[in-house]
Amino acid sequence: MPYTAPINPEEAFRFLESNNPKIVAGCTDYFPGLQQGQIDEDLLDVTRINGMRGITHTETGWRIGGATTWTDVVRASLPPAFDALKLAAHEVGSLQIQNQGTVAGNICNASPAADGVPPLLALNAQVEVGSMTGRRIVALSDFIMGVRQIDLNPDEMVIAIHIPDISRAANSGFAKLGSRKHLVISIAMVGAVVEEHALREQVDDLLPVPQVVVGFIDQPVVVDFFAMQGGAEEFGEFALRELLGDRLEIGRADAEDVEHDTVPAGEDLGG
């Protein structure tokens, strides 16, 4: 059972190609999943690879290194659109789990209860995957193909997660529903990134639709924000109220005002 913790990414890629190892980071998903504690495979520890840890601002957005822990997320100075991810980070197990567990480990485990996934999807996250033969970028929505299924070849590892630049005016939130208040695996959770003026001007289709992602049972789904309100789905209402509080009512009232300005009461536009 060779174990290696390289510093150089090329060394890691070579080990991936030659030994077909299991990649590990914080091991907070890997260890509990072991059958009777037996390790019968080669291990590649990615936590010491240069450039794999930390959050940086790049020319096009934000880069979350492939060995960045939840504690790193909590401590990073990030715009308000990342508040949902920070709230999720606070909810991943205990402080000890947050110190060890990584964002990449959370998405690669592809559990329906992975708290990091809805906020990352709402931020339009992209996953950078690397191997000896090069690097490729895949949208997180495509990377997670199903429960415990990801778009990753045996010779590849996740190098980083990229978030496109986002307005400082964008707000975000995260709410999780579990069987108790703290230290609990999610039954359902929701992450949303919303620009307040997008709420107001949605009726004119001027600005992008707010991103609301609900995760539960099977796979996270991106929800059509306004369809969800129209359908008055119970969980959607609960989640939106938890996330947006007063801003939800303000957004709805403003949207109604605009509708009343354009369509006088009682007048039918036909169609």
Ligand X SMILES: Cc1cc2nc3c(=O)[nH]c(=O)nc-3n(C[C@H](O)[C@H](O)[C@H](O)COP(=O)(O)OP(=O)(O)OC[C@H]3O[C@@H](n4cnc5c(N)ncnc54)[C@H](O)[C@@H]3O)c2cc1C
Kindly provide the residue ranges of all beta strands, DSSP E only, lying in 86-245, ordered along the sequence.
126-131, 134-139, 144-146, 149-150, 157-164, 170-177, 188-195, 211-216, 221-224
Q: Which of 27, 76, 203, 207 binds ligand X (CB under 6 A)?
A: 27
Q: Which of 102, 141, 171, 211 binds ligand X (CB under 6 A)?
A: 102
CB 123 within 8 Å of CB 82: yes
The yes or no reply on residue 191 touching ligand X (CB under 6 A) is no
Which residues have a Cβ under 8 Å from the Cβ of 60 and sit 6 or more positions away? 162, 164, 165
CB 200 within 8 Å of CB 267: no
**Binding track over 43-72 against ligand X, x by CB under 6 A:** ---x-------------------x------
Q: Which of 43, 68, 73, 115 binds ligand X (CB under 6 A)?
A: 115
The C-alpha atoms of residue 254 and residue 57 are separated, in whole angstroms, by: 34
Q: Which of 72, 83, 91, 195 binds ligand X (CB under 6 A)?
A: 91
Q: Which of 12, 13, 15, 23 binds ligand X (CB under 6 A)?
A: 23
Is 147 or 185 the residue whose CB approaches ligand X more closely?
Answer: 185
Stretch that binds ligand X, among 23-31, 78-86, 220-228, 243-251 (CB under 6 A): 23-31
CB-side exposure of 206: number of CA atoms within 13 Å? Answer: 11
**Cα angle for residues 95, 86, 61 (degrees, 5° grid):** 135
Percent helix / strand / coil, the chain, rounded to 5:
35, 25, 40
Q: Which of 32, 134, 264, 271 binds ligand X (CB under 6 A)?
A: 32
Is 72 or 91 the residue whose CB approaches ligand X more closely?
Answer: 91
The C-alpha atoms of residue 160 and residue 129 are separated, in whole angstroms, by: 7
Q: Find, among 124, 126, 135, 125, the residue nearest to 157 by Cα.
A: 135
* Residue nearest ligand X by beta-carbon distance: 105
Q: How far is the CB of 66 from ligand X (least distance, A)?
A: 4
Q: Which of 157, 166, 192, 214 binds ligand X (CB under 6 A)?
A: 157
Q: How far is the CB of 254 from ligand X (least distance, A)?
A: 35
Is 163 or 199 the residue whose CB approaches ligand X more closely?
Answer: 163
CB 184 within 8 Å of CB 175: no
Binding residues for ligand X, rule: CB under 6 A, are 22-30, 32, 46, 66, 91-93, 97, 100-102, 104-106, 108-109, 113-115, 152, 157-158, 185
